Structure 1
Amino acid sequence: MIFALAAVLLWSTVATAFKITLNYLTPLQMVTAASTVSFFILLAIALSRGKQQLLLLELRRMPLYYLLIGLLNPTLYYLVLFQAYQLLPASEAQPLNYTWAIALTFMAAFFLKQKIRKRDWIASAFGYLGVLIIATRGDILGLSFSNPWGVFWALLSTFLWASYWIINTKRNAESIVQLVLAFGLALPFLIVLSLMTTDWSGIPWQGWLAVSYVGLFEMGVTFLLWMTAMKTASNTSLISNLIFLSPFISLLLLNQIIGETIHLSTILGLVLIISGLIFQRLRS
């Protein structure tokens, strides 16, 4: 429970960290710097656990697979996600990103031939109604979107994240090994691309501190805290449901730390999205 709550609290801060970091870095710079921090943190953890031989074995077995995974996550997924955060208030981008579990349902049905249950359809209706309310700021009938491109990038990120998990079903290697290899193979592409297209000079220390925080707690340590919680829990359902606290804590932090206005439509839409996700997970 302590590990899970620590992970939830840390994940609740990253939306605020995203917005702060985007004041100093472009989305591409942010992905590159954060991924670099994450890679070295994850590599240090993997080596401390004696995973050296497993890392080399997995890399020799399926180098193209891990390259594909790395180009999908962190490269493409976080580029799209940070673009959404740049265009939308974080209080809107973050709830939209929570619909990735609904996107996963439909993609699993298409690619893995899994059956879509009645509860999945109901959960999807709740979730995407919540998306519509957030995206239009409550003006559903008028369909007046606050930022159509921002909404598009946020929803696209959910399908990219779902794709990442579907591809991951093809390999049963340890999570820490997969992450180290994916981040390590993606980094050269990110570094070269960012050096060719962006200017790294003049970034203040606040930007470096903020992006290091993102790399440490969005992509690195927090994931391991969560996995430890799931492995040591006597009731994994109780632990996994704690994640639904995160978006609400995040809204509070966004309001108090960076002064974002939290619209009533955002809260209503988020409640619908979370309600749909919880309903989808209920057992018969």
Structure 2
Amino acid sequence: MIKNQKTATLFALLAVLMWSTVATAFKITLTYFSALQMLLVASLVSSVVLLIICYRQQKISLLKASFIQRPYFYLLMGAINPFLYYSLLFQAYDLLPAQQAQSLNYTWAITLSLLAVPVLGQKLRRNDVIAIALGYLGALIIATKGDLLALDFVSPLGVTLALLSTILWACYWIFNSKNDADPMIALSLCFLCSLPMIILTVLIFDDIYITAWQGWLGAIYIGLFEMGLAFVAWLTALKYAESTSKISNLIFISPFVSLLLLSQIIGETIYPATVIGLILIIVGLFIQKRA
């Protein structure tokens, strides 16, 4: 593929725009669906979208071959993402203000650098330590609304679930770093392998009869954009990119656009502590990337 930075930037901005809307979509949809119901519908939609893309790219035959080659790997990856990761993340959104759940979720890259030490044998650099300190200080400010001494969390369980989801997301990328399969094939297999797990979980712990049309619209939107097309756009951007760092820096736009949408669309009051904490997290990530 011929490299084209302008095309890469357009696809990256498209992905960032889609990711910026999902916190609002999560919160609206959770008014009508439970976290598991939302996960079920969104995963079904994203699986169909990914299969269509694989078909258009003439990669359908590679799905079976790749799965047969590493069945347990893809079952594990599907269990991590989307099943467990989104189960915890959606539940965190259900328990917390969206601004808190979204901002805490952005610490996943910092969690990744921590897990890379024991799992991949990497060493923490000075910039990593600074990023970790700033990131988790920012997370603490967000979770306590700035009242650090009181440590009064809106929902301790919600905060715990949001931070646990970052561990799962970091594990997903660490394990996938050792996978040389086509990224689109790998992502599609993860979603396909997770579907039976999600369906069984809903049948056991929730209600499979999902009727609210507003929830369906929201979950379809999430499956189409958050779990489906946004990843495709991002992978396309990386393929076209002459400079990956210039593309990856664009992701820093997303949380601030998301806060604006949360304020304007669902009327969520944005706490000053959220903005301060989010800035600390973003600064930490930027320092880490500049190393």
For Structure 1 versus Structure 2, the TM-score category normalised by the shorter chain is over 0.9
Q: Structure 2 length normalisation: TM-score?
A: 0.95
- The aligned counterpart of 2:161 is 153
The Cα of 1:202 is off from its aligned counterpart by: 5.5
1:63 aligns with 2:86: no
1:24-173 correspondence runs (5 A): 24-173=32-181
8 Å CA contact retained: 1:38, 1:220: yes
- For 1:138, what is the secondary structure of its paired residue? coil
- The aligned counterpart of 2:221 is 213
Take 1:45 and 1:241, find their aligned partners in 2: how far apart are those partners? 26
- For 1:143, what is the secondary structure of its paired residue? coil
1:10 aligns with 2:18: yes
1:179-194 correspondence runs (5 A): 179-194=187-202
CA-to-aligned-CA distance 1:70-108 (integer Å, 9 cap, x gap): 011000000000111001000111010000001001101
1:250 aligns with 2:272: no
The Cα of 1:52 is off from its aligned counterpart by: 2.1
Take 1:158 and 1:80, find their aligned partners in 2: how far apart are those partners? 10
- The aligned counterpart of 1:19 is 27
Structure 1, unmatched stretches of 5+, are: none
Take 1:103 and 1:168, find their aligned partners in 2: how far apart are those partners? 16
Query: Which deviates the most, 113-122 or 167-176?
Result: 167-176
Query: Which deviates the most, 53-62 or 229-238?
Result: 229-238
Take 1:64 and 1:277, find their aligned partners in 2: how far apart are those partners? 33
- For 1:150, what is the secondary structure of its paired residue? helix
Q: Structure 1 length normalisation: TM-score?
A: 0.97
Which residue identity is paired with 1:251?
Answer: L
- For 1:151, what is the secondary structure of its paired residue? helix
Take 1:114 and 1:142, find their aligned partners in 2: how far apart are those partners? 36
The Cα of 1:198 is off from its aligned counterpart by: 1.9
Take 1:4 and 1:19, find their aligned partners in 2: how far apart are those partners? 24
Take 1:210 and 1:195, find their aligned partners in 2: how far apart are those partners? 21
C-alpha RMSD of the superposition: 1.0
Take 1:7 and 1:13, find their aligned partners in 2: how far apart are those partners? 10
8 Å CA contact retained: 1:25, 1:203: no
Query: Which deviates the most, 191-200 or 157-166?
Result: 191-200
Take 2:185 and 2:172, find their aligned partners in 1: how far apart are those partners? 15
Take 1:226 and 1:183, find their aligned partners in 2: how far apart are those partners? 17
- The aligned counterpart of 1:225 is 233
The size of the alignment, in residue pairs, is: 283
- For 2:227, what is the secondary structure of its paired residue? coil
8 Å CA contact retained: 2:14, 2:233: yes
Residues 189, 202 of structure 1: CA spacing in aligned structure 2 closer, same or farther, 3 A cutoff?
closer
- For 1:120, what is the secondary structure of its paired residue? helix
- For 1:217, what is the secondary structure of its paired residue? helix
Take 1:276 and 1:144, find their aligned partners in 2: how far apart are those partners? 24
1:190-205 correspondence runs (5 A): 190-201=198-209, 203-205=211-213
8 Å CA contact retained: 1:24, 1:203: no
Take 1:252 and 1:158, find their aligned partners in 2: how far apart are those partners? 23
Of all paired residues, the percent bearing the same amino acid is 56
The Cα of 1:140 is off from its aligned counterpart by: 0.8
CA-to-aligned-CA distance 1:209-248 (integer Å, 9 cap, x gap): 1000000111101111111112112222111100000000
Structure 2, unmatched stretches of 5+, are: 1-8
